[in-house]
Each structure stands twice: as C-alpha cells, then as structure tokens.
Amino acid sequence: MAEKSVLLLFGGGSTEHEISKVSSKFIRKNLKSIEGIKTYAIELTKDNGYIAEDGEECHLSFTGELIFEKSGKRIKIDYAIPCLHGFPGETGDIQSVFELSRIPYFGCDKEASQNCFNKVTSKLWFDTLQIPNTPSIFLSSSNLNELEKARTFFRKYGEVFIKAASQGSSVGCYWVTDESNLEMSVIEAFNYSQHVLIEKALKARELEIAVYEYDGKIVVTRPGEIITPENEFYSYEEKYSNGSNSVTHIEAKDLTDTQVSTMMKIAKKAFVAMKLRHLARIDFFLTSEGEIYLNEVNTFPGMTEISMFPKMLENHGHSFINYLKQHITK
Ligand SMILES: Nc1ncnc2c1ncn2[C@@H]1O[C@H](COP(=O)(O)OP(=O)(O)O)[C@@H](O)[C@H]1O
Ligand SMILES: [Mg+2]
C-alpha cells in the first residue's frame, strides 16, 4: 500500500498559537507509531504563511498539494489534521480550504466548527435544541442603548461574565462583580469580536465530557472535572501557565448517577444535532443548586500530554493511536 501523506497543521493566528504547537507535538508523537503514513508538520504563522520544519516556506494548492517554495517539491496531501485552537481551525476557515482542495480531514466540518466557536450562535443552537444553558443576553455594539441593556442584566444577577463571541482560551472573557467595571469590560470584549455575550455568573463545578467516533460509533465518556482555586475562574493563566493552581480529574467525583447520565445525554444530543464529527470536548457547569448547563462545545480541544480529551479517551479504554489511525486510514 502506498504511503499516505498526512498534513499536520499547527500554530494559526489566534492567541492559542503556542498551545496548538504543544498539542501538535503530542499528536506527532502518536502519529509516529502508525505505519504507512508520512507526516508533514507545518506551522501556520500568525499572518497565514506556511512553514515546514526545516524553515522552508510552502503553501497548499487548490489541487491539494503542498508546494515547497524553494525546492519546488510538491507533495499530494492525502489527509489533513487541523491541530489549531481558535482561528483558523475551530472557526471553520481552514476546513473550507481543505474542502476546496478536496483533502479529507480530521474533525468537524466548517459549518459545525463555526456554529460551536461563536458563543452567540451556539447559544441559539442550544436554545433551539432545548439544551439548558446559562441565562444570557448578547450585545451587537457598545452604544448607550446596548450598555443600558448590560446594566439592567447586571442588576438582575449581581455578577456576570462578559465574553467576546468569537474567542477561546478565556481571552476577551471578564468576570464582573462590580457595576463600575461593567462598561469597561464590555468595551474591552468588543476589541475581540463583533458580538459580546453577557452571562449570569454561576457558582458552579466545571465538568467536561469527551465525545468521539471510535470503531464507527459515537462514544461519550463520563465527565471529568477542572477545579479552579476559590475566587478564580478558568482564565488563560489558570489554563496554561506553570503557576496554575487548577486541578483536573479525569473522572469527576461525587456526582449522582442522574447528573452523569443527564450530562452524557446532552453531550450526545449536541454532537448529533449539531453534526459534529470525530471529536469534541463538551463543557458543562453544575451549579450549587444542582442545575446542569451546557457551557460550550470545543471542536478541537487541547491535545497536549496533560489535556483532558486524550486522557478521557484512554481512560474510557480506547487507544489514542488507534483512534487517530482509524480516521486517517479510513
Ligand atoms: N457564566 C459563568 N459563570 C461562572 N464562570 C464562568 C461563566 N462563564 C465562563 N466562566 C468561567 O470562564 C471560563 C472561560 O469561559 P468559556 O465560556 O469556557 O470560554 P472559553 O471559550 O474561552 O473557554 C470557564 O471555564 C469558567 O471558568
Ligand atoms: Mg471554555
């Protein structure tokens, strides 16, 4: 059988560029154990350039070839893995390029990615699917009228989360407990996105479920948990810095059977109805009053050595190498 050329794309233009590099190293390590494939690990720079490991610039043609600028080498790509968190992977942009170039690829398609990435769009989906989610409103500008809406919402709940609609990694995400910081945070969030979501701030546990396709079936794991220190949220620093005090549990403790099964059912419903493919990490809140809310769907969750998604998959009894192999060689 001819060797398959696999394009492993990492980096990208988002604030998660560096994390995606770390994720790609982990995926690369796993790909090494798969016979019959040759991996081309290519970094997508912040200004959309493609750079090979030896520093040579290259680009992807609309005929599905990776073309190296200096040597003129052309490689027909058989499969692509968009190991990109945020733009242009989770936003659905790179999937359009793959489709136009007729390259089969790993993960959700363009539309599903877009629907999940935009926090306003995904709320509309959750509501339509009758999936419980945190009470919220969204603003389309920071004019006086919209700021007044924000103030009214704040006064109703006393504490809110303000989130740029098209962002991840807690960038453009602010926890506001004092009304005097409200306006500033809304304006800040608009620096990142065209829409801003305002949510009731919850006192809640943060639970995550991995959903993926294995042996042709959709697998839903039990929830894992992220525990952040008291009075902090799962901010960019808590997620990625060495000084993070957050703790993760591959399987959350002290949940009732009903809570577990409710979350698993909702995760599967979202995966199926929103037409997700191959993988997703679906994040929940469990409030102190026992309400379960779907927070967000990540279509390319962290894939580092210590990330929840690969760990939950292995904990479920599956092999991550085998999982990648199934999709690449299908
Ligand atoms: N409504 C909320 N109540 C309490 N904490 C929240 C709320 N929304 C977000 N958070 C905190 O902020 C973090 C980031 O928010 P999230 O919506 O997951 O955005 P991102 O896409 O950046 O991960 C969450 O993991 C959680 O710690
Ligand atoms: Mg999140």
8 A C-beta contact, residue 308 and residue 235: no
Domains 4-106 and 115-132+203-328 share a fold: no
> Which of 134, 233, 244, 284 to probe ligand 1 with, by most ligand atoms within 8 A of CB?
233
Q: What is the whole-number distance in angstroms between the Cα of residue 150 and the centre of ligand 2?
A: 22
Q: Please tell me the total number of residues recorded for the chain in this structure.
A: 330
Q: What is the CATH number of domain 4-106?
A: 3.40.50.20
DSSP designation for 178: S
Ligand number nearest to the C-alpha of 176: 1
For ligand 2, the distance from its centroid to the CA atom of residue 168, given in whole angstroms, is 7
Domain ranges of the chain: 4-106, 115-132+203-328, 136-200
The 10s digit of each residue's pLDDT in 110-154 is: 999 999 999 999 999 999 999 999 999 999 999 999 999 999 999
Task: Name the pTM for this structure.
Answer: 0.96
The C-alpha atoms of residue 165 and residue 308 are separated, in whole angstroms, by 24
- The C-alpha atoms of residue 110 and residue 102 are separated, in whole angstroms, by 14
Kindly give the pairing relationship between strand 160-164 and strand 196-200: antiparallel
Of the candidates 39, 46, 13, 36, the one whose C-alpha atom is nearest the C-alpha of residue 25 is 39
Extract the tokens encoding 87. 């733009």
Question: Residue 328's pLDDT is what?
Answer: 96
Strands 224-227 and 74-76: unpaired
* Confidence (pLDDT) at 232: 83
201 CA distance to ligand 1 middle (Å)? 9
Residue closest via CA to ligand 1's atom 16 equals: 170
Q: Whose CA is nearest to atom 1 of ligand 1?
A: 201
Closest C-alpha residue for ligand 1 atom 24: 234
What residues flank ligand 1, with Cβ below 6 Å?
134, 161, 163, 168-170, 173, 199-202, 204, 206, 233-234, 283, 295-296
Q: Is the dihedral of CA 175, 271, 317, 95 positive or negative?
A: negative
234: CA distance to ligand 1 center in Å?
Answer: 7
- Domain 136-200 CATH superfamily: ATP-grasp fold, A domain (3.30.1490.20)
- 230-257 per-position pLDDT tens digit: 878 888 877 777 778 889 999 999 999 9
- Assigned fold of 115-132+203-328: D-amino Acid Aminotransferase; Chain A, domain 1 (3.30.470)
Contact indicator for 95, 82 with CB cutoff of 8 Å: yes
Token reading at 243: 């000084």
Ligand 1 pocket test: which of 19, 166, 170 has the largest number of ligand atoms within 8 Å of its C-beta?
170
Query: What DSSP assignment string belongs to 241-307?
Result: -TT---EEESS-SS--HHHHHHHHHHHHHHHHHTT--SEEEEEEEEETT--EEEEEEESS---STT-
- What string of pLDDT tens digits covers the 330 residues of the chain? 689 999 999 999 777 888 999 999 999 999 999 999 999 999 999 888 999 999 999 999 999 999 999 999 999 999 999 999 999 999 999 999 999 999 999 999 999 999 999 999 999 999 999 999 999 999 999 999 999 999 999 999 999 999 999 987 788 999 999 999 999 999 999 999 999 999 999 999 999 999 999 999 999 999 999 999 887 888 887 777 777 888 999 999 999 999 999 999 999 999 999 999 999 999 999 999 999 999 999 999 999 988 999 999 999 999 999 999 999 998
d(CA 282, CA 259): 15
pLDDT at 218: 98
Give, in order, the Cα–Cα distances in Å from 157 to each of 183, 184, 290: 16, 18, 18
pLDDT tens digits along 253-270: 999 999 999 999 999 999
CA of 73 to the centre of ligand 2 (A): 40
Dmax over CA atoms of the chain, in Å, equals 65
Strands 4-11 and 37-44: parallel
Please tell me the predicted confidence (pLDDT) of residue 243.
78
Q: From the CA of 96, how far away is ligand 2's center (Å)?
A: 24
The percent of the chain in helix, strand and coil, each rounded to the nearest 5, is 30, 30, 40
